[in-house]
């Protein structure tokens, strides 16, 4: 009978140790690698809506067009979701509602739904002129080293680089890689 008790005790010690190991691995994974985010606000509509749930990676390389989670530059402790338009050194021009990066026109298909919407057909550009101090009279900006230029997809209401300026690389928390909820909106990025 004593042997059975020792085996039972060994089993429970191993199970407890394994549970601690798994919990620690999950904790470290979410602390340093993965972020589980919830969309707040309307600035990324029609591509991201209030309450949608996302998975993002904390150390993924930021590319032009990527959707990122960043520390709010104007509300300490808050986070924003925005799209990276300009990388360090990029020359950005908006002319006749067309984005030019380093002299080449870039397609922005994520804007098509709102650009073509009837309520925006007011002879106004969807992406209006910027108000940054670095903006020349030609509607041109150059993104400084170790910074990004970000915009919300809902350009008519988004609080983004047009109002708070360039985003330092250190303020980028993660890069969105998956939308998983609601399930019918599932998408890999």
174: three-class secondary structure by DSSP: strand
Write down the residue that tokens 């798994």 correspond to.
22
Find the length of the chain.
189
Using CA atoms of 109, 114, 115, 116 in order, give the dihedral in degrees to the nearest 10.
100
Active site residue 43: yes
CB-based burial label for 118 (10 Å; 0-12, 13-18, 19+):
exposed
Catalytic residue among 43, 56, 161, 174: 43
What is the residue whose two structure tokens read 């991201």?
A: 48
Catalytic residue among 31, 58, 61, 82: 82
Structure tokens at 33: 């690698």
CA distance 187 to 189: 7
The β-bridge relationship of strands 187-188 and 172-181 is antiparallel
Whether residue 63 lies in the annotated active site: no
Question: Bridge partners of 98?
Answer: 95
Provide the annotated active-site residues. 43, 82
């Amino acid at each position: 009978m004593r042997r059975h008790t020792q085996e039972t005790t060994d089993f429970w010690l191993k199970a407890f140790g394994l549970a601690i190991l798994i919990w620690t691995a999950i904790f470290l994974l979410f602390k340093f690698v993965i972020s589980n985010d919830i969309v707040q606000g309307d600035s990324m509509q029609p591509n991201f809506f209030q309450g949608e749930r996302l998975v993002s990676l904390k150390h993924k390389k930021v590319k032009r067009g990527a959707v990122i989670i960043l520390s709010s530059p104007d509300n300490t402790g808050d986070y924003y979701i925005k799209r990276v338009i300009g990388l360090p050194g990029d020359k950005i021009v908006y002319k006749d509602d067309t984005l030019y990066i380093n002299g080449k026109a870039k397609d922005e298909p994520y804007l098509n739904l709102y650009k073509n919407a009837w309520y925006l057909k007011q002879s106004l550009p969807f992406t209006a002129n910027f108000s940054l101090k670095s903006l020349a009279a030609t509607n041109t900006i150059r993104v400084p080293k170790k910074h990004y230029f970000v915009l919300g997809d809902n350009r008519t209401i988004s609080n983004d680089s047009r109002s708070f300026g360039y985003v330092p690389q250190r303020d980028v928390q993660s890069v969105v890689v998956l939308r998983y909820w609601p399930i019918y909106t599932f998408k890999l990025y």
